[in-house]
Chain A
């Protein structure tokens, strides 16, 4: 499921509410049938970020390990074998073994994104929240990461809620779209939501959705931006 919408429409706020980091100003929000709380092991999270500091000298493997027990007090003295196995399995799932022992700061954006995903997956969550995982990647890396997320979600029977700026790399993989704009929200399949009528309604201004020969969608007619991939 993709969360779409222009900058400042509240996509990240929605994710932070699901994580229990913010509470809604009005109304109620339930995750797994209860009020969200911080540190829910059922949720894996990949925060919005550009890249790690290049000087960050910590192994990818140690970073993924923080997803297992980074929130616990004290140091671990015994019984790390289970955790190490879980870390290994998670690194396997994102195919990151080749560089899991290198410093995180030295890796490419795509490699860092995979390790962030491994960290989010290591606790076997039911829900994966990703805040703009594609924004700082080139087109080729966007494609491989989307494919990876899609495979993992299918294999682990995982719900993925992903914020995106451009819906095109996701179109073939998503079941539902949440469109947030101008204080309004629309939910449905991509074909239902990303249409000229629905988006014009959400934005309360005439908007046109154009599809090209390869099935890519473009939203036209928003403010001064004449044409940009989606919105």
Chain B
């Protein structure tokens, strides 16, 4: 790979390091797409955590994998299949409702079946290994300028949709009964939310891949709600953390032979661990 050939090493001059980071187009594209994805994932993550939908978010990405694999088999772009499957399953999960008992079980059953489908599709397409690998673990260093543009447009759509549904979505996430009595269309919102999530997941898959989606959607928001109980602040902290993990992960990976996804997920994990472990200390200090 390019990284190994270039074999860059960090100097002690941060400006030189930055210049080196942005020397190649593929790194610039990676930073651009990563920034958009981090903003989207960090914002929607707050609602995923608030609604207790992290399993649904996780399942969506895996179901999307089957769609992507299927699209490649029939000669389409994997993103098309990814989006079709996440949107389809997302709206179906949304229609099940937010508080329904046994929802996770239903999602798990569908998830297992679609993963089986994914395996079939991979076996049908010979010489598919690299593309499957990219879908599973992310391929941010292979993003083209066109991909960046598509990511930006999709990001703008998801953020606008979130802004439009913000208040009623917050209301129905906190108390569905109450929101419904106030005239909030809770089931429609649940479907809309899952559709937005489906688009966000499809975007995030490019950066971290389907297996590692938690690191950008769930972990930053899960950390944020440990620091504040004010929704706008929690969203801001979540976005900030997602950006930090992505930027740092990309920068570290540039100077190392190891994959970007590993660094992003590790940063997210160890930050979460540190926050949880330091909680008794912080509580004692306040």
Bound Cα distance A52, B229 (Å): 14
How many whole Å from A137's CB to the nearest CB in chain B? 18
Taking the complex as formed, is B108 at the interface, i.e. its CB lies under 8 A from any CB of chain A?
Answer: no
Rounded to whole Å, the gap between the CB of A139 and the closest CB of chain B is: 26
In the complex, are the beta carbons of A73 and B164 less than 8 A apart? yes
Q: Fill in one digit per residue for A27-42: 1 if any B CB lies within 8 Å of its CB, else 0.
A: 0000000000111000
Chain B 167-194, CB-CB to A under 8 Å as 1, else 0, gives 1101100110111111110000000000
A74 lies within 8 A of B178 (CB): no
Q: B236 to chain A: closest CB distance in Å?
A: 13
- Nearest residue, chain A, Cβ from B180: A21
Interface size on A, residues (CB 8 A): 33
- 212-254 of chain B: CB within 8 A of chain A: 225-226, 228-231, 234
Q: Are A66 and B170 in contact (CB under 8 A)?
A: yes
Give Cα distance in the complex from A53 to B167, angstroms: 20
Q: How would you classify the secondary structure of chain A's contact residues: helix, strand, loop or mixed?
A: loop
A123, chain B: closest CB distance, angstroms: 9
Instruction: Kindly list chain A residues whose C-beta atoms are within 8 Å of the C-beta of B50.
Output: 56-58
Enumerate A150-190 residues with CB–CB distance to B below 8 Å: none
Q: Does B163 contact A (CB under 8 A)?
A: yes
Contact B168 A71 (CB under 8 A): yes
With A58-B231, A103-B229: A71-B182 Cβ-Cβ less than 8 Å = yes
- B181:A58 contact, CB within 8 angstroms: no
Q: Is the CB of B174 within 8 A of A58?
A: yes
Q: Are A47 and B166 in touch, CB under 8 angstroms?
A: no
User: Contact check: which of A39, A57, A70 meets B229 at CB < 8 Å?
Assistant: A57
Report Cα–Cα, A73/B225, bound state, in Å: 24
Contact residues in B for A39 (Cβ distance below 8 Å): 181-184
- Chain B residues contacting A72 (CB-CB under 8 Å) are 167-168
CB pair B167 A102 closer than 8 Å: no
- C-alpha gap A163/B139 in the complex (Å): 57
Using known A-B contacts A70-B168, A71-B168, determine if residue A38 contacts B174 with beta carbons closer than 8 Å.
no
Which range contains the number of B residues in contact with the other chain? 20 to 34
Contacts of A53 in B (CB 8 A): 52
Q: Which partner residue on chain A sits nearest B171 by CB separation? A: A70
Indicate if the CB atoms of B180 and A70 lie closer than 8 Å: no
**A218 CB to nearest chain B CB (Å):** 32
Bound CA span A119–B175, Å: 12
Complex Cα distance, B181 from A56, in Å, reads 21
Interface residues of A in 132-161 (CB under 8 A from B): none
Interfacial chain A residues near B179, Cβ < 8 Å:
66, 70-71
Q: What residues of chain A lie closer than 8 Å to B52, measured between beta carbons?
A: 53
Contacts of B167 in A (CB 8 A): 66, 69-76
**Given that A66-B170, A70-B168, A71-B167 are known contacts, is A59 also in contact with B230, CB under 8 Å in the complex?**
yes
- Residue in contact with B168 in the complex, picked from A59, A67, A73, CB distance below 8 Å: A73
Q: Is the CB of B230 within 8 A of A62?
A: yes
Name the A residues within 8 Å of B175 (CB-CB): 47, 49, 52
Q: Are A74 and B182 also in contact (CB < 8 A) when A57-B229, A59-B230, A62-B230 are?
A: no
A135–chain B nearest beta-carbon distance, Å: 15
Q: Is B165 an interface residue (CB 8 A)?
A: yes
**Chain B residues, Cβ within 8 Å of A21:** 180-181
Across the interface, B180 reaches (CB within 8 A) one of A38, A56, A58, A104, namely A38
List the B residue with the shortest CB-CB distance to A16.
Answer: B181
Q: Are B163 and A75 in contact (CB under 8 A)?
A: yes
B178 touches A47 (CB 8 A): yes
A19 CB within 8 Å of chain B: yes
**Pair A19/B181 contact, Cβ less than 8 Å:** yes
Q: Which residues of B contact A19 (CB under 8 A)?
A: 181
Query: Is A70's CB under 8 angstroms from B184's CB?
Result: yes
Q: Assuming the A-B contacts A58-B231, A62-B230, A102-B229, are A71 and B183 also in contact, with contact meaning beta carbons closer than 8 angstroms in the complex?
A: yes
Given A70-B184, A74-B167, are A56 and B174 also a contact pair (CB < 8 Å)? yes
Please state if A73 and B165 are interface contacts (CB–CB under 8 Å).
yes
Min CB–CB distance B52 → chain A (angstroms): 8
Query: What residues of chain A lie closer than 8 Å to B168, measured between beta carbons?
Result: 70-73
Q: In the complex, A76→B231 CA distance in Å?
A: 13
Contact A59 B229 (CB under 8 A): yes
The 7 A-B pairs with the shortest beta carbon distances in the complex, nearest first, are: A39-B183, A70-B171, A103-B229, A57-B225, A47-B177, A38-B183, A71-B182
Can you give 13 contacting A-B residue pairs, CB < 8 Å?
A39-B184, A45-B181, A47-B175, A47-B178, A55-B225, A59-B230, A62-B230, A66-B179, A70-B168, A71-B182, A75-B163, A102-B229, A104-B229
Chain A residues proximal to chain B, CB less than 8 Å: 19, 21, 37-39, 43, 45, 47-49, 52-53, 55-59, 62-63, 66-67, 69-76, 102-104, 119
New contact pairs (4) apart from A66-B167, A74-B167, CB-CB < 8 Å: A56-B174, A62-B229, A73-B168, A103-B229
